[in-house]
Amino acid sequence: AARPRRLDVRDLHAWYGESHVVHGATFHVDRGEIVTLLGRNGAGKTTTMRALAGVVRTRKGSAHLDGHDLLATPPHRVARTGLGYVPEERGIFASLSVAENLLLPPVVRPGGVSLAEIHALFPNLKGRDRTQGTRLSGGEQQMLAIARVLRTGADFILLDEPTEGLAPVIVEEIAHALGALKARGLTILLVEQNIRFALAAADRHYVVEQGRVVDEFDNTTLRTDRARIDAYLGV
Ligand code: ATP
């Protein structure tokens, strides 16, 4: 039988209390792909990720990761399916060092990225073990947040706006690191607003509007058909 898609999301709905925010999102991510969710503020991209990660619990529809039914998986078991979630706010613990932040989440699966590999991916973190998490720059905190999830053995990573507020040179470093992770066989779903980064880092792109996936771009169409994407993003 054919292997299931890495991530297969069909007609996903999600709510905050009574507020219906994701309205039937359908998309997929294949093994080894980097895919973005693009869209305006408030379109429902973050909520889609939270619903997949299991931290928004009021959901309907279907979402499978390697055939595992994510909507039937309790939040404390999601990491064991291989899913790692790096939220927009990064979640670096202020009173812990870089090393302590990195070692905090338990390794739940084989294949976790070693510290040596993390230092090769993110040279800024090298030699910084004893630095307090909050003394890192925004870009370094983002790198630490990604590295922390990689340590656990996650090989399907949800990354929410990793480039938000970062300098262009750091954005390039993060794009480079994601390329290295893809080469290592990881699969990544990104929320992004930065088209340049999306082009540099990803293979395919979905547009989210009012909680639905309304269009899809490959890198060629995203690069050449600026009018079409700008109309969605309101640039
Ligand atoms: P952004 O880039 O601003 O995060 P987004 O596309 O990721 O945009 P969401 O964060 O998913 O959008 O928000 C979708 C809608 O849900 C918005 O209208 C937002 O105000 C609402 N929303 C977000 N978080 C909550 C919450 N905790 N409780 C209630 N409503 C929320």
- For residue 50, the ligand 1 atom closest to its alpha carbon is 11
- For residue 193, the ligand 1 atom closest to its alpha carbon is 2
What CA–CA distances, in Å, run from 171 to 19, 139, 148, 224? 34, 8, 18, 22
How many CB atoms are located within 10 Å of the residue 109 CB? 14
- What is the residue-level pLDDT of the chain in tens, covering all 235 positions? 667 789 999 999 999 999 999 999 999 999 999 999 999 999 999 999 999 999 999 999 999 999 999 999 999 999 999 999 999 999 999 999 999 999 999 899 998 899 999 999 999 999 999 999 889 999 999 999 999 999 999 999 999 999 999 999 999 999 999 999 999 999 999 999 999 999 999 999 999 999 999 999 999 999 999 999 999 998 7
Instruction: Round to whole Å and give the CA distance between 231 and 235.
Output: 7
C-beta of residue 83 within 8 angstroms of C-beta of residue 77: no
pTM: predicted TM-score of the whole model, two decimal places: 0.95
For 89, list phi and psi in degrees, rounded to 5: -85, 0
Pocket around ligand 1: residues whose beta carbon is below 6 Å from it?
16, 19, 21, 39, 41-47
